[in-house]
Amino acid sequence: MIVLAPMEGLLDFVLRDVLTRVGGIDRCVSEFIRITDQLLPERVFTRIVPELHNGGRTGAGVPVRAQLLGSDPACMADNAARLASLGPHGIDINFGCPANVVNRHGGGAALLKEPETIHAIVAAVRRAVPAHMPVSAKMRLGYHDDALALDCAQAIASGGAAELVVHARTKAQAYRPPAYWERIADIRAVVSIPVIANGEIWTVDDAHRCREASGCDMLMIGRGAVVDPGLGMAIKASANTSEEGAKAVLTWPQLVPHLLDFWHIVRTRLDTRAQAGRLKQWLNFLRRRFPEAELAYQALKTIKDPELINAWLMALEPQALPQWSEVCEPA
């Protein structure tokens, strides 16, 4: 199983839609919904997870688990109950966000210093939602260090979570390589629930090494899938020696229609002021994998007018990129 990671400010419903159309993704987790001291209205949940209007699935039919972030067990439970009534394919709890603005308020990775609070949150959410609805959690190895990694994992499991994703770094290690996949194996040894390995999976080779070190068959990929939207397919194809499996790696001509789909969703669903930046954000990631994306990024990086960007993109052909001068004069 390949799960698409939640990433605040990057892996939102737009990319979930497009990346699941590409293929290779079995499930998604939404970016977190912040829970403080109030019961959120339904519109907040559906704004962050609009897939709730589509039976909890992306347009390609891939199920989405909605993620909650908060530190008060009772308030988390109340909001989980309301969220559950909207029909997500499970509820995930964030114990891994390293952002200082979140950690200062006791959320995300800050809770990894308090296994007993983690247990209370998971248990409260589990009690609040229907028995058939999966409750899962995502954690890092710890806050300053990984001394409490096993305690936190056991707190999650004993609280009633059905599944655990482990990002194999501490909050202090942020996103700096390497990821310590072998520590996930230590966690697997002390919990009886399924464990999904996450962190620093950029290539098929990374996926194989992660599986070997962690002992996990299931993987969660994030930035690696943003850079290479075909990564999930490639990981799966690598286990298939047939010619058909070998063709599953995504090429630039195959990506271009998905890039245009992405732009269409951005144009129709996001505020005009955010449209140009949203496209350039993804192109900035894609250029690490595709030389053609580098050309696109360089051509568009100073352009802010969505109409000019639209004209340039509409001239895209699968085998080539137009020169900016062939479409219109620079602004």
Neighbours of 247 (CB within 10 A): 10
CATH code of 259's domain: 1.20.225
Check residue 270 and report its DSSP letter: S
Residue 92 lies in a domain: yes
The active-site residue, picked from 97, 152, 210, 216, is 97
Please check whether residues 126 and 212 belong to one and the same domain. Answer: yes
Residue 317 is predicted with a pLDDT of 59
Residue 283 lies in a domain: yes
The mean pLDDT of the chain is 92
For CA atoms 78, 71, 160, 97, give the dihedral sign: positive
Please check whether residues 143 and 275 belong to one and the same domain. Answer: no
pLDDT band at 241 (very low <50, low <70, confident <90, very high): low
Residue 114 lies in a domain: yes
Residue 149 lies in a domain: yes
Please check whether residues 154 and 259 belong to one and the same domain. Answer: no
Which is it for strands 91-95 and 33-34: parallel, antiparallel or unpaired?
unpaired
For residue 21, CA distances in Å to 30, 117, 317 come to 16, 38, 20
Predicted confidence (pLDDT) at residue 174 exceeds the cutoff of 50: yes
pLDDT one-digit tens code per residue, 179-194: 999 999 999 999 999 9
Please check whether residues 294 and 148 belong to one and the same domain. Answer: no
pLDDT band at 322 (very low <50, low <70, confident <90, very high): very low
Please check whether residues 241 and 260 belong to one and the same domain. Answer: no
Among the three residues 188, 212, 246, which one is the final residue of a domain in this structure? 246
Please check whether residues 201 and 290 belong to one and the same domain. Answer: no
pLDDT one-digit tens code per residue, 290-313: 999 999 999 999 999 999 999 999
Please check whether residues 166 and 53 belong to one and the same domain. Answer: yes
Residue 327 is predicted with a pLDDT of 37
Predicted confidence (pLDDT) at residue 321 exceeds the cutoff of 80: no
Please check whether residues 120 and 175 belong to one and the same domain. Answer: yes
Of the candidates 148, 140, 183, 185, the one whose C-alpha atom is nearest the C-alpha of residue 165 is: 140
Please check whether residues 117 and 181 belong to one and the same domain. Answer: yes
pLDDT band at 329 (very low <50, low <70, confident <90, very high): very low
Among the three residues 191, 213, 246, which one is the final residue of a domain in this structure? 246
CATH code of 103's domain: 3.20.20.70
Mean pLDDT of 83-111: 90
Among the three residues 218, 246, 274, which one is the final residue of a domain in this structure? 246
Residue 196 lies in a domain: yes
Please check whether residues 190 and 73 belong to one and the same domain. Answer: yes
Residue 130 lies in a domain: yes
pLDDT one-digit tens code per residue, 119-141: 999 999 999 999 999 999 999 99
Residue 331 lies in a domain: no
How many domains would you assign to the chain? Answer: 2
Please check whether residues 213 and 319 belong to one and the same domain. Answer: no
Please check whether residues 232 and 267 belong to one and the same domain. Answer: no
pLDDT one-digit tens code per residue, 17-50: 999 999 999 999 999 999 999 999 999 999 999 9
Strand partners, 7: 11
Give CA–CA dist 39/76, Å, rounded.
Answer: 9
pLDDT band at 103 (very low <50, low <70, confident <90, very high): confident
Query: Containing domain of residue 140, as a range?
Result: 2-246
- Residue 328 known to be catalytic: no
Higher pLDDT, 98 or 116: 116
